[in-house]
A and B are shown apart, each in its own frame.
Chain A
Amino acid sequence: GAVVSQHPSRVICKSGTSVKIECRSLDFQATTMFWYRQFPKQSLMLMATSNEGSKATYEQGVEKDKFLINHASLTLSTLTVTSAHPEDSSFYICSAVGVAGGPSYEQYFGPGTRLTVT
């Protein structure tokens, strides 16, 4: 089956620094990748939709200058949390949709990245 990886799995950073999270589709090409944020015991909240070669589409309330998304290739999207604050601490999950995806496509999720900002 399709595999999506995320790196790193856990990261601790100091307040004010920036952190980059990578999302890779390992055995398929992903035209679209999604970035979600999940707080403990809460649902997944869609942050942005990332399309290869174009600007990401951000959901309402998500600061695009704070959460920089780059989808430079069909197998890699990155999320950079800039000037991180403790309230950015969360579980970040990406998902990818394959090139052959169409209506009713299935998303393949990465294992998530636990970000802790001290």
Chain B
Amino acid sequence: SQQGEEDPQALSIQEGENATMNCSYKTSINNLQWYRQNSGRGLVHLILIRSNEREKHSGRLRVTLDTSKKSSSLLITASRAADTASYFCATDSGGSYIPTFGRGTSLIVHP
């Protein structure tokens, strides 16, 4: 069964704007990861945040984790048309380090 659920399912913005995607999950986690998938392609790992971390940055990406609310957000600042893709969160919990993926957020950045 799916653990993470992304919100919104689809997001359409103009180039230069910020894009925020959220991920909620149901059970306590070890780690939460964000991935990117271009249409018809494999997944690219973006960021891993551990359960004892609250925020991580990587370039224009900022990920936050709120374990009390069982949620995470991915912020892409100053978006570019090339950021158009689907973004998935994946969580692992308990003794299993195999991540479970959510349905993803489809992001379209208009030039």
Contact = CB atoms under 8 A, between A and B. Distances in A.
B50 A43 contact: no
Band of interface residues on A: 20 to 34
B70 interface: no
Contact of A105 (B35, B97, B100): B97
Band of interface residues on B: 20 to 34
A49 B42 CA distance: 18
Given A43-B2, A43-B103, A46-B100, A93 B42 contact: yes
A106 B40 contact: no
A44 B88 contact: yes
A46 B102 contact: no
B64 interface: no
A114 B42 CA distance: 11
Q: Report whether over half of chain B's contact residues are helix, strand or loop; otherwise say mixed.
A: strand
Given A43-B88, A43-B104, A44-B88, A107 B99 contact: yes
Interface in B92-111: 92, 97-104, 106
B97 A103 contact: yes
A42 interface: yes
A60 B103 CA distance: 19
A98 interface: no
B13 interface: no
A106 B47 CA distance: 10
Given A34-B98, A44-B88, A110 B42 contact: yes
Interface string A95-118: 100000001111111111010000
Given A44-B43, A44-B88, A111-B42, A104 B102 contact: no
Given A44-B101, A93-B43, 5 more contacts: A43-B101, A91-B40, A104-B50, A104-B92, A104-B97
10 contacts: A6-B42, A43-B2, A43-B88, A44-B43, A93-B43, A104-B97, A107-B99, A109-B43, A111-B41, A112-B42
Interface of A: 4, 6, 34, 41-46, 49, 91, 93, 95, 103-112, 114
